[in-house]
Amino acid sequence: MIEVEHLSKLYGSTSAIADVTFSVEPGEILGFLGPNGAGKTTTMRILSGYLPATSGTAKVAGFEVHEDSMAVRQRIGYLPESPPLYPDMTVEGYLNFVAQIKGVNAGDRPQRIQSALTRCNLLEKRKTIIRKLSKGFRQRVGIAQAIVHDPPVIILDEPTVGLDPRQIIEVRNLIKNLAGDHTVILSTHILPEVSMTCSRVAIINHGQVVATNTPESLMTQLMGSSGYELEVEGEFAAIQQCLQAVSGVKTIEPMLTDLLPQNRLKIKVVSESETELGSELATALVSHHLKLYEMRRVQASLETVFLQLTTEETPVENVDEVEPSDAAIEGGTPNENADL
């Protein structure tokens, strides 16, 4: 549905994006994740037909964004960082105005407006003047104007910036509900937003896409392995000998922990690939009469991946080429409030 190839943009001599290539399948939500100044807004604006690229191509629903910018604009709903709202209009009046300029037939407009109001939970505010709305409701109006003409593609630039936690949850749920019927690109610098909302993530840094994958695969693929923490009763040498025989095990290490009952050890097992080894590890221990008290799968957090990718001196061209890092699997759970 969206195909971007070798897209670059220079502002004078400043390179905002360079050689950006990615694609988005119909019905997907792609998270475009990067720190401030990475080039997210520039890419979104080029895709929406509001800014010409210096070189490269971008196609939306088969139309080249620069050559067929009118056809593209009709097929895209765009929520910029600051939604272009008219504060003195009512919500309904504004949506009617947007539907009109987006070319929705007069006969279809009431139904399209009703649908956008319903999806964005705005029915009770339809007669309210936009100026009187809270920031959260204004953001919903911004999303409603992006979907009122029922475009196949929706581009949302930092849609939850400035909202309170309750409003953030509402807006994220609303975005998730758009998937399937629509193809969505969501730009953000907030990590949990991506893992909560998106089916795939493209990480952008210094104007270049440094990795693209599902949030989960990106973590395991980049780290090249996943890990398990086990609590087992017995001697380390015996446990090590037993687990070493399990195919796919890369390393076995004792972990330093306090407060464990006597004879119990915490062991960290790292696997060679992302294949699940849990049941094999448990079976091996039980067949050697070693008591297993606890087993937990540990994966790198998206935050670890992001920091690793965006602090590389040179961009990682292909995540498969990254050296597996054992230390990285200690990343633990993502910080829910990580705001880079």
Ligand X SMILES: Nc1ncnc2c1ncn2[C@@H]1O[C@H](COP(=O)(O)OP(=O)(O)OP(=O)(O)O)[C@@H](O)[C@H]1O
Residues 41-100 that bind ligand X (CB under 6 A): 41-42
Segment (H or E) for 165: helix 165-178
Burial bucket for residue 118 (CB in 10 Å: 0-12, 13-18, 19+)? exposed
Cβ atoms of residues 53 and 8 within 8 Å: yes
Helix axes 91-101, 135-147, angle to 10 degrees: 30
Collapsed DSSP state (helix, strand, coil) of residue 260: coil
Rounded Cα–Cα distance for residues 326 and 334 (Å): 18
Among 112, 182, 189, 200, binds ligand X (CB under 6 A): 189
Minimum distance from residue 331 beta carbon to ligand X (Å): 24
Beta carbon of residue 40, minimum distance to ligand X (angstroms, whole number):
4
Q: Least distance (Å) from ligand X to the CB of residue 110?
A: 36
Select the residue interacting with ligand X from 6, 11, 118, 335 (CB under 6 A): 11
- The correct pick among 13, 14, 247, 314 for binding ligand X (CB under 6 A) is 14
**Least distance in Å: CB of 189 to ligand X?**
5
d(CA 203, CA 148): 29
The stretch among 29-37, 98-106, 121-129, 232-240 that binds ligand X (CB under 6 A) is 29-37
Query: What is the Cβ-side half-sphere exposure of residue 227, based on CA atoms within 13 angstroms?
Result: 27
Rounded distance between C-alpha atoms, residue 28 and residue 178, angstroms: 9
Q: Is 262 in the site for ligand X (CB under 6 A)?
A: no
> Which segment (31-39, 68-76, 86-94, 290-298) binds ligand X by CB under 6 A?
31-39
Give min distance, CB of 53 to ligand X, in A.
Answer: 12
Nearer to ligand X, 34 or 159 (CB): 34
Q: Which residues bind ligand X (CB under 6 A)?
A: 11, 14, 16, 34, 36-42, 189
